[in-house]
Structure 1
Amino acid sequence: MNPPVSARNPSDMDRIVLATSVKFPLASYLMDPAFDPGSPSPLYYLQSKCKANSSIPYPSGQEVKCLECLHLWRNSSSDVNKELYKCKGGNKQHKEDNEFAAAFDFSDSNGAKYNMTVWHEETQVTNFMMGITFEYNRLPRWLNLASNAYLQVLQGPGTQMLFEFIKEVPTIIRLDSRVQGVLDFLLRIASFGLLIYPVTVLVSLIVYEKEKNLRIMMKMHGLRDTAYWAITYFYSLIISVLFVQFFLIAGEISGLTFFSKNDYTLQSIFYFIHVNWQISFVFVIAALVSTVKTAQVISSSYMMLVCVLAFFVAGRCIESTDISSSVVLLVEIFPGFALYRGVYEFQKYATFARNGADVGMRWKNLSDTGNGMKTAMIIMVTEWVVMLLLAYYLDQVVSSGSGRTKSPFFFLPTFRKKPTSQQSMQINSSQVLPGNNQSDVDQERQKVEQLMKEGSRTHTAVCDNIRKIYPGRDGNPAKAAVKGLSLALERSECFGMLGPNGAGKTSFISMMIGLTEPTSGTAYIEGLDITTRMDEVYTCMGVCPQFDLLWETLTGREHLYFYGRLKNLTGSTLAQAVEEALKEVNLFHGGIADKHAGKYSGGMKRRLSVAISLIGDPKIVYLDEPSTGLDPVSRNSLWSVVKRAKQNRAILLTTHSMEEAEALCDRLGVFVDGALRCVGNPKELKGRYGGYFIFTMTTTSGKNDEEVEDMVVSLCRNAVKTYHLGGTQKFELPKQEVRLADIFQLVENAKSKFPVQAWGLADTTLEDVFIKVTRQAQARSSDE
């Protein structure tokens, strides 16, 4: 048996301490290591007082010495535990593990009942081989001492009984200390993993709104970044706090000492700090990624990595006595390790409390030597603040789907753009594109210049030579998507923008609604510069995007209530606006308004998107192909809504439907290759770019095609054939050169000479104008 520390000489330390790592012969694993013949360590027997020459020989050759043992009285088991666990409970006085040989508590034993608790040292004598543990070999000796002392008190000094072995009798089930130790470790890891699990859930919720463009949709309807993050933060905080409280209450109900022994307020404060740290950490991840899949991969990888590293790195550093506290501090700075340290401390104190050492961790224990809880809390609070600031910074400068980005030095006054008024802006309209000198486009440019000089507020939107150039990549040249557009929209005007795919319409709209920043030039909405005051512009505009941006779990009514509140509508005004909007787009009756948007058809979603763009009386509305996917009845109903809506606001509409453009738009602009090619109302454009009849004739199998062409040319020398396929031909006939009567006479003559299957005469359509202007512009661009 090892002697108490007080009985050791410093020079004898290495000689008398039994090491459990000593490799004994195989046979010796079946016996107590102390009696191994190959062990050089001496043996001791305990006596209340040792006499001279009290050493006795032992057959193995080992020397057995006498060691005086002090009998120390304690008032209770709690006092015994406090004394024994001073080396582990975090107190300032450090004790050796084997300072005490054993301790006994006879509790309420009497003549009719024998109730005893034995504390015995097993730290350095435990060895495993074929299921044998050596403390069971030593424990009967202590039981013999205590039991014989008990018998001698009752029966007299001569009474003695020897126990040769111990065996458990049926008792209430309890865990062996080793099993309990394993479960404590598993509980610590499980608690740690459970506490960081919400990272994946929260980051997915936030990034989902970014991936589906819902966040930018809210932003375009007036929701500021600060308001968005504040709402998201407190929503996440409520969820996380409820989760932690459930975690604590479930642990308390389960009777786990990890929860029940430690101070509840201390646990609540620690976990409250943790959830705030966790939310700020989630915000950092959300600012860097733009898809839910990527966010889930990153957060899941983080969870697995930090759980593994917490055990193999943080846990080893905390428990090791060879690693300095500064190194441990650096390790705990890694995101998540401070939480592990706190959980580790809670479990350590709970383990001591279960063994009777104390009641667990209390606020006063934060000052205990070796208790890292205070440091862990300071680290988490510091990282909480730092990561919140970092998340805000990254959200402003990283382009990840949340709208226009700012300069990396936006927080410095030198790099901030100063707000400018429409009156003080320099005119940028002096440059004219080569080959783009159409009178109508030039008139529009001059109109904008005049408005800029006068500072007039009569127009809702004024675009002043706005440009967008995308830099070249991978050896490709830069792409000019918008080449200096000047345009003015009056109030109560619906302006339609037509153009082929890739013409630059989307790039222009993206600049107007704040998704991208102009390369040069600017635009004003109600006198507000979109390059410096876009946050104010958002409050006075509505957007119906090309693709419906809706929450599938919200009803149509809830969507309108939400966006109505963003437009500062409240109370009965909000309720009335929502009801009117639903009725306008035919979503009010039949309970449609209270169905989830995810169950809507494509046409119903489209109508809801239009209603969202119009609620709150915005000054300008952007409608990007609003009638896509609608049946003729719903389309006509929607057109009626748009016509009524434009009475109080300006509307900028993009569409590929000439019928829609002609029905809704007061003015049209054909946009080709990044430039505006013509501007005017539909009738003017048809008159200016039309001026001819479209004559069509179909003959049998095309046998008389040449004869038909000769007849048309003889009627109109400047006729132009625009189509010829399978006996069907189309001709453009200038109106000033032919009369309708002459055309009818030509048809009658043709019928008398050969079979005419069909014929037709039409005026110039808007589609014809669009095709003609587009072809001319593309031909001009190719020549340049």
Structure 2
Amino acid sequence: MADSSRGSASFWTQADALHRKNLAFQVYQAWWCPVASPTLWHLLLQILEPEYRAVQSEFTPFTDLPVESCRKTGSCPATILLAGQNVTFGQSLGENMIPSSPPLNISDIFYSATSVLGSASKPFPTNLIEPAFVSDQSVYFLHKYCALNSSSFVPLRFGSATFNQEIHCIRGLNLWRNSSTEINDELYKGYRKANAKQKVNEIIAAYDFLNTDATIFNVSIWYNSTYRNDSGNNPISATRVPRSVNLASNAYLQLLFGPGPKILFEFVKDMPRPESRLRLDLSSLLGPMFFTWVVLQLFPVMLTSLVYGREQRLRIMMKMHGLGDGPYWMISYSYFLLLSSLYMIVFVIFGSLIGLRFFTLNDYSLQLVLYFFHINLQILLAFLVSVLFSNVKTASVVGYIIVLGTGLLGTFLFQPFLQDSSFPRGWITAMELFPGFSLYRGLYDLAQYSFTGYYLGTVGMQWKNLSERNNELKEVLIVIVVEWPVVLLLAFYLDQVVSSRRSPTFFMQNIRKKPLSSFRKSSFEGQGSVDIAQMDKPDVHQEVYPGRDGNPEKIAVKGLSLALPRGECFGMLGPNGAGKTSFKKHGREHPPFYGRLKNLKGVVLTQAVEESLKSVNLFYGSIADKQAGKYSGGMKRRLSVAISLIGDPKVVYMDEPSTGLDPASRSNLWKVVKQAKQDRAIILTTHSMEEAEHLCDRLGIFADGDLQCIGNPKELRATYGGSYIFTMTTSATHEVEVENLVREFSRSAIRTYQISGTQKFELSKNEVKIADVFHAVEEAKSRFTVHAWGLADTTLEDVFIKVARGAQAFDVLS
């Protein structure tokens, strides 16, 4: 019973206590000293200390017990209960069990057949000597009549030595009960742990003589085992029980044949035994927790690998090049399985080489089956958990927390439940549904068998042991096998919903892609189709997917869908943040990998890789063998172009391919792109107007997430650039005169630039004749100094700036 005033022990205090208890128990069981000549043990009864001896109480209906006041003086008798079918015969036996006269020679009390000696000593963890003779506990002489607190010193021979032992005389009391049921009830009510509220009221022994008579001796004996230790190896009971039997036997002989015949039962003796070396296998003691950590070490590795692929969008890149979910899962799973299998084989081999009994005593095939089953489940658990993370660092920290926590919880939470026979087995099975606990349970069972095998000099767990009643490894294997397909389906489902962003009910839907012909085409067959919110842009409007079957017109990035004919390069122009790159993503891996994804094999694959690398000048010398991660920014872009063109794709996406390239490399890359577009459609995003005009057949300008306009460069300049740009540089004092000059030949002119005498004006082509501009400038030169002047048609850059600014102004107003 805990002392409530101290409060509950902390978690670590309880854990330390449990650890010490387990360690002490294992050490005690595993080691003993040699005993060549065991000591003789005197026969003693287990006598109760005075405060525990039975007295009258409200819990027992018997009035033949002494009153409670005897506890204050220490004079309470030691009570023996009797029962039997033959009352008279049984009571007579009871009278003969406790002597009524002192022995003839007090020095022979230890060696007299009629002496009833006892002790309240607790058992020692060894049976080399009777603890009553070396402890502070008293040795008692049981008698019917004793003076209060009477005692004597009696010489006791112990081997070759003799010493005086103090003997206290206590009164023995025999009480008759009507049946063994009454005895049972009284013994239980008086037991010190039966009821914490009532006082301890114990009996030293009880006898049911059953049908004993002059021709039959038949007796059942209750003996006091209050101090029986937990190990079951109780040396005290080896002497206490024989003395109880000896009392009844001598009483029966005395009743039948008088005081002459006696059974002289002086001593018991332990068998000689050899020395035992310390059989303490630490691998079995610490194995479940430590080996759980070792086996689970691959879980964070697999988890971070999967999350890294999601964080870097590697899987998305590979899917863009044709990688399906099936090959991805199969290859990833097989890779992790191979890695885990090699890891576990090395784990078992290393443990065996250094001589750990955990490995050498248990059947190797049984161990490998457990590990193989678990690593399969662990791989799927990594797939399942990976969908919850998008950051590698977070996933790594959580993964190692799971590893550490599983080992600690297994040792300090799960293992005590395993050792508690009263804990429901159903809850144990439920806890094993957590893969870490199922692994811990399997390792725990292997550890128990290896420890026992090493202790007994036998083997550990074998296949035949799985049929044993207390062997739970078979249950662990069944749990793992049943759980594996469940986790597989759940992991695949979450992967599709979270990673692939499919509908949660995708498995219930029959999704069929609509053919391209179901959409309304543009003015020519195969032309691009574009969805936008502003329907007032005629060049864009004709590219929009119409609403069908009651569905509204679709809004893409804010929404874009394109259908391009072969042989066309479509340019996407737009300021930073307009939505060009969000419109698509592109992967950067080595060409052979992507070539295989596009079903290229053998010589065809080799030739395609060679041609693609040659086209971007990455084939010659040591450049092709250099790791892509060590390429410069420009080289990485050239490699990306080579990858995008390999395998003769029908559609190629390029995101600012020439950014960061030197003029020579840029010119060469442009040649490659122009040659490549002959047999495929190319969609290209860029900031370079020069690149757009040089490569693209049609252009689309993106701003604020919308496609603002679409057409070839000439059409865009004509539609959005119907003006001239007039530039003149003079001294700052003549800026007003320049402005007045411009107003003479273009009343709607707009000044777009002014700094240090240099001004730019946008002139409407409908108002201005080029000859008038030249004539006006020649007249102005006679009035003030003109340092420089020019008249230029609208450039694509001017169109780009005008459209982008217009979109931003519209967005602000809306």
Q: What range is the shorter-chain TM-score in?
A: 0.5 to 0.7
Offset at 1:711? 1.5
Identity across the alignment (%): 48
Tell me which residue corresponds to 2:538.
Answer: 439
Offset at 1:17? 11
Offset at 1:184? 3.2
Tell me which residue corresponds to 1:539.
Answer: none
In the TM superposition, 1:30-49 aligns within 5 A as 32=131, 35-38=134-137
In the TM superposition, 1:677-692 aligns within 5 A as 677-692=708-723
Q: Could you say if the C-alpha distance between residues 287 and 642 of structure 1 is closer, same or farther in structure 2, counting changes exceeding 3 Å?
A: same
In 2, Cα distance between equivalents of 1:680 and 1:656: 17
Q: Which amino acid aligns with 2:505?
A: F
In 2, Cα distance between equivalents of 1:491 and 1:42: 115
DSSP-derived class of the 2:418 partner = helix
Q: Could you say if the C-alpha distance between residues 694 and 2 of structure 1 is closer, same or farther in structure 2, counting changes exceeding 3 Å?
A: farther
DSSP-derived class of the 1:496 partner = strand
Offset at 1:203? 1.0
Q: Could you say if the C-alpha distance between residues 433 and 208 of structure 1 is closer, same or farther in structure 2, counting changes exceeding 3 Å?
A: closer
In 1, Cα distance between equivalents of 2:484 and 2:377: 4
Q: Which amino acid aligns with 1:375?
A: E
Q: Which amino acid aligns with 2:572?
A: M
Tell me which residue corresponds to 2:575.
Answer: 500
Q: Is 575-584 or 615-624 further displaced after alignment?
A: 615-624
In the TM superposition, 1:252-291 aligns within 5 A as 252-291=352-391
Tell me which residue corresponds to 2:644.
Answer: 613
In 1, Cα distance between equivalents of 2:742 and 2:580: 40
Asked if 1:393 is matched to 2:478, the reply is no
Q: Could you say if the C-alpha distance between residues 176 and 563 of structure 1 is closer, same or farther in structure 2, counting changes exceeding 3 Å?
A: same
Do the aligned residues in 2 keep the contact of 1:37 with 1:60 (CA within 8 Å)? no
Do the aligned residues in 1 keep the contact of 2:284 with 2:450 (CA within 8 Å)? no
Offset at 1:194? 0.3
CA offsets, 1:585-605, max 9 Å, x none?
Answer: 111112111111111111111
TM-score (norm 2): 0.65
Return the match for 1:248 from 338, 348, 359: 348
Do the aligned residues in 1 keep the contact of 2:654 with 2:684 (CA within 8 Å)? yes
Q: Could you say if the C-alpha distance between residues 681 and 311 of structure 1 is closer, same or farther in structure 2, counting changes exceeding 3 Å?
A: same
Q: Which runs of 5+ in 1 are unaligned?
A: 23-29, 44-56, 66-94, 103-140, 148-165, 167-173, 454-463, 469-480, 511-542, 552-558
Q: Which amino acid aligns with 2:690?
A: E
Q: Which amino acid aligns with 2:455?
A: N
In 2, Cα distance between equivalents of 1:697 and 1:97: 111
Return the match for 2:511 from 392, 399, 417: 417
Do the aligned residues in 2 keep the contact of 1:262 with 1:362 (CA within 8 Å)? yes
Asked if 1:482 is matched to 2:512, the reply is no
Q: Is 572-581 or 582-591 further displaced after alignment?
A: 582-591
**Structure number with bigger Rg:** 2
Q: Could you say if the C-alpha distance between residues 349 and 486 of structure 1 is closer, same or farther in structure 2, counting changes exceeding 3 Å?
A: closer
Offset at 1:613? 1.5
Q: Could you say if the C-alpha distance between residues 496 and 550 of structure 1 is closer, same or farther in structure 2, counting changes exceeding 3 Å?
A: closer
Offset at 1:222? 0.8
In the TM superposition, 1:624-663 aligns within 5 A as 624-663=655-694
CA offsets, 1:736-756, max 9 Å, x none?
Answer: 544445444444444443333
In the TM superposition, 1:749-760 aligns within 5 A as 749-760=779-790
In 2, Cα distance between equivalents of 1:628 and 1:16: 98
DSSP-derived class of the 1:411 partner = helix
Q: Could you say if the C-alpha distance between residues 780 and 325 of structure 1 is closer, same or farther in structure 2, counting changes exceeding 3 Å?
A: closer
Q: Which runs of 5+ in 2 are unaligned?
A: 1-38, 47-79, 82-117, 143-163, 171-203, 205-229, 238-268, 523-527
Q: Could you say if the C-alpha distance between residues 226 and 434 of structure 1 is closer, same or farther in structure 2, counting changes exceeding 3 Å?
A: closer
Q: Could you say if the C-alpha distance between residues 2 and 718 of structure 1 is closer, same or farther in structure 2, counting changes exceeding 3 Å?
A: farther
CA offsets, 1:609-653, max 9 Å, x none?
Answer: 122122111111122222222222222222211111111111112
RMSD over aligned CA atoms reads: 4.0
In 2, Cα distance between equivalents of 1:433 and 1:263: 69
Q: Which amino acid aligns with 2:651?
A: I
Q: Which amino acid aligns with 1:499?
A: G
In the TM superposition, 1:20-39 aligns within 5 A as 32=131, 35-38=134-137
Q: Could you say if the C-alpha distance between residues 449 and 322 of structure 1 is closer, same or farther in structure 2, counting changes exceeding 3 Å?
A: closer
Q: Could you say if the C-alpha distance between residues 396 and 449 of structure 1 is closer, same or farther in structure 2, counting changes exceeding 3 Å?
A: closer
Do the aligned residues in 2 keep the contact of 1:2 with 1:16 (CA within 8 Å)? no
Do the aligned residues in 1 keep the contact of 2:321 with 2:597 (CA within 8 Å)? yes
In 1, Cα distance between equivalents of 2:600 and 2:773: 61
In 2, Cα distance between equivalents of 1:620 and 1:99: 86
In 1, Cα distance between equivalents of 2:813 and 2:698: 29
In the TM superposition, 1:696-775 aligns within 5 A as 696-700=727-731, 702-775=732-805
Asked if 1:98 is matched to 2:233, the reply is yes
In 2, Cα distance between equivalents of 1:348 and 1:197: 23
Offset at 1:691? 3.1
CA offsets, 1:355-393, max 9 Å, x none?
Answer: 234211110001112111111111222222221111111
Do the aligned residues in 1 keep the contact of 2:373 with 2:481 (CA within 8 Å)? yes
In 1, Cα distance between equivalents of 2:529 and 2:563: 16
Q: Is 217-226 or 428-437 further displaced after alignment?
A: 428-437
Tell me which residue corresponds to 1:334.
Answer: 434
DSSP-derived class of the 2:752 partner = strand
DSSP-derived class of the 2:355 partner = coil
Asked if 1:590 is matched to 2:678, the reply is no
Q: Which amino acid aligns with 1:270?
A: L
Q: Could you say if the C-alpha distance between residues 776 and 287 of structure 1 is closer, same or farther in structure 2, counting changes exceeding 3 Å?
A: closer
Q: Alignment length, in residue pairs?
A: 585
Q: Could you say if the C-alpha distance between residues 360 and 182 of structure 1 is closer, same or farther in structure 2, counting changes exceeding 3 Å?
A: closer
Tell me which residue corresponds to 2:288.
Answer: 188
